[in-house]
Chain A
Amino acid sequence: MNNKVIDKLQPSYHKSFSVYDKLFKNTSIKSKLVFYIYLLPLLIMVILFGIWPIIKSISTSFTDSYSALSNTPKYIGLNNYAAAFKDSYFIDSLIITLKFTLISVPINILLAFVFALALSSKILKYGRTFFKLAIFIPVITSDLVVCIVWRWMFNSDLGAINAILSALHLPLFAGLASTKTVLIALGIVTLWKNVGLYTIIFLTNLQLIDPALYEASDLDGANYFQRIRHITIPELRPSIMLNSVYAIIQYLKVFSVAKIMTQGGPNYASNFVAYYAYDKFAASQFGEATSMATILFILIIIIFAVTYWLNRMGIE
């Protein structure tokens, strides 16, 4: 019995071995194959949690919400997109998101630049690490914790913000409660959370600037601001670009602050696109939700491509 099995197996074993031999005798193929095996786990993750869901999401955007999750989704062409552009709340959410991004990003980049200059200043002899830590700690803090703590800080009865303002005899800040101030409040929170990252990227690049450039300008008698304008900023151009692209993408995707702090309110004043689309999901309007998600995705890609292209043009 045993022998029989082995006899039977033998030829096929040989056969498969010879196939293996043929495939891998060529060491270059064999050594290439190894790299595909190394890549495989990452590829599986990217497909499972990136590519497949994105394709699924885009295909859902062409279906009727009622049938979206069934096995036979009903395709209705661009109807969801047409509906989205007719939805005044969606148009408003696009405007709110773009406005929030356009105002927040330059402030973030400018402040990060100032912080990085201050942190790299030679006259700062003590406490450099402490200051760096203070600015960076929010980056590694959970955004959920950040949103919840700040939400309470803005609370008009218990919060610290108005307590400080009234102690200083300044006018009170309506914070999250008013349509006029809610975006300012969220702008402060996201700035506080994100600016450390941009600061560290600037700081890393500032340290790479050749000191000889500064020495030369010293000999030319340039003052501090002239040096920043003629040496620091041109040398930092790539990282200014990188930080801007990062910040733009991060701000266009803004979600957590709306989900946790405002639920898009008051009166839709902080109804960012990502949050509005998520809200549609929650209401089982999958077709509408995914079409809005796709519109935002396309917007992000276009803005990324334009900035990337502008950057390349600038370098050449």
Chain B
Amino acid sequence: MTSRKDVKLVTNICLYLFMITISLVFLFPYIWMLSNSFRTTEQLVSKPLAIFSGSFTLQSYKNIMSLGGKTILLYISNSLIITTASVLLALVTSSLGAYALTRKPNLPGFKAVMFLFLVSIMYPWALLVIPIYMVMLKLGLMGTHIGVILAITGGTSIALPVFIFQQFFKSIPYELIECAEVEGANELTILTKIVIPIAKPVYGTVALITFMFNWGEWFYVMVLSNSLKTATLPVALLNTYGELGADINAIMALASLISVPIIILFIFTQRNVMEGIAQGSIKG
């Protein structure tokens, strides 16, 4: 009896040791990034691992208040505008599209659309950048906010929202809709009075997930911006590489400024976000 209890205790301790070690490995880069954003380069060089010691300084954050001759507020407002607009665009296009594809999968052409959609997300996204660049030139949207918003919505982030909505629309009780149809409600009423109200939590989840991913988007923004007019925080970080040289602490401050708000948002919404991403992925 005691031996069995001992075995249980040992497994318990091993499991906790394992999980704590793993968690430390996963969290360490964040701790390192944050602590160095509050330290000086001298401290980092002399005591690379003393991450909780030494004086606390906001100098790195002061150094990033102005980047490329522009105030950081420009980058922050660009990030907020571009991310929010792309989230709204993704919500509208993906929810309506997924609803149509899920409710009437057999309409002529719908299967083909779904197929093309799946094929297009298999293309190496980084390599679509030249044709998308050409599309933008043709549309006259190069270097504009609208161009960047369209490209990061359509080019990279629309797939997961579509999958999450499809997964949800598959699960709603269709008796409700049939009832409304029998009572003579038209499709628009069904959408606005029945489907959208029950999908509200999914809209919330998709908005959160898309916001988190689009906030960090850098590649399309970089390629489609021809000036700092549309530069977001990640683009500032990319440019900072050159500008700040080896000012590693300032780079860590900017990296923290980009990632920490998203992590905090995630911690408060983790259940929805993880479930949403898992659901959307299972569909794919």
Q: Mark A43-54, 1 if CB is under 8 A from B, else 0.
A: 111101111111
Q: Would A145 and B216 count as touching, CB distance under 8 A? A: yes
Within the assembled complex, what's the spacing in Å between the Cα atoms of A149 and B252?
7
Instruction: Decide: A38 near B96, CB < 8 A? Known: A246-B284, A300-B124.
Output: yes
Q: Would B124 and A38 count as touching, CB distance under 8 A? A: no
Q: Would B120 and A142 count as touching, CB distance under 8 A? A: no
Q: Does A213 contact B (CB under 8 A)?
A: no
- Pick the interface stretch among A11-19, A118-126, A171-179, A225-233: A118-126
Which residues of B lie under 8 Å from residue A51 when comparing CB positions?
116, 120
Instruction: Decide: A50 near B116, CB < 8 A? Known: A45-B93, A149-B32.
Output: yes
Which residues of B lie under 8 Å from residue A203 when comparing CB positions?
278
Of the listed residues B11, B33, B124, B216, the one surrounded by the most CB atoms of chain A closer than 10 A to its CB is: B124
Q: Does A31 contact B (CB under 8 A)?
A: yes
Which residues of B lie under 8 Å from residue A20 when comparing CB positions?
none
Q: Would A31 and B263 count as touching, CB distance under 8 A? A: no
Q: Would B216 and A141 count as touching, CB distance under 8 A? A: yes
Instruction: Decide: A53 near B162, CB < 8 A? Known: A135-B23, A200-B277.
Output: no
Within the assembled complex, what's the spacing in Å between the Cα atoms of A119 and B22?
11
Q: Does A82 contact B (CB under 8 A)?
A: no
Q: Mark A143-154, 1 if CB is under 8 A from B, else 0.
A: 111101110110
Q: Would B251 and A46 count as touching, CB distance under 8 A? A: no
Q: Would B23 and A134 count as touching, CB distance under 8 A? A: yes
Which residues of B lie under 8 Å from residue A273 when comparing CB positions?
124
Q: Does B204 contact A (CB under 8 A)?
A: no
Number of A interface residues in the complex (CB < 8 A): 94
Q: Would A140 and B113 count as touching, CB distance under 8 A? A: no
Which residues of A lie under 8 Å from residue B18 when comparing CB positions?
118
Q: Does B121 contact A (CB under 8 A)?
A: yes
Q: Would A142 and B122 count as touching, CB distance under 8 A? A: no
List B residues 15-45 near A (Cβ within 8 Å).
Answer: 15-16, 18-19, 22-23, 25-30, 32-33, 41, 44-45
Q: Would B263 and A140 count as touching, CB distance under 8 A? A: yes
Q: Does B1 contact A (CB under 8 A)?
A: no
The chain B residue with its CB closest to the CB of A198 is: B281
Q: Does B151 contact A (CB under 8 A)?
A: yes
Q: Would A142 and B258 count as touching, CB distance under 8 A? A: yes
Q: Mark B254-269, 1 if CB is under 8 A from A, else 0.
A: 0100110011001100
Q: Would B270 and A200 count as touching, CB distance under 8 A? A: no
Q: Would A141 and B259 count as touching, CB distance under 8 A? A: yes
Which residues of A lie under 8 Å from residue B41 when comparing CB positions?
158
The chain B residue with its CB closest to the CB of A127 is: B19
Q: Does A89 contact B (CB under 8 A)?
A: no
Which residues of B lie under 8 Å from residue A160 when comparing CB positions?
28, 32, 48-49
Instruction: Decide: A31 near B11, CB < 8 A? Known: A46-B154, A140-B273.
Output: no
Q: Does A95 contact B (CB under 8 A)?
A: no
Within the assembled complex, what's the spacing in Å between the Cα atoms of A111 and B117?
31
Option from A57, A246, A260, A301 in Cβ contact (under 8 Å) with B130 = A57
Option from A52, A119, A300 in Cβ contact (under 8 Å) with B122 = A300
- Pick the interface stretch among A99-107, A214-222, A286-294: A286-294
Option from B12, B29, B151, B213 in Cβ contact (under 8 Å) with A149 = B29
Option from B129, B131, B218 in Cβ contact (under 8 Å) with A54 = B131
Q: Mark A222-259, 1 if CB is under 8 A from B, else 0.
A: 00000000000000000100100010010011011001
Q: Does A80 contact B (CB under 8 A)?
A: no
Option from B32, B94, B107 in Cβ contact (under 8 Å) with A153 = B32
- Closest 7 pairs (CB-CB, A-B): A142-B216, A42-B97, A49-B154, A50-B120, A53-B131, A134-B23, A163-B48
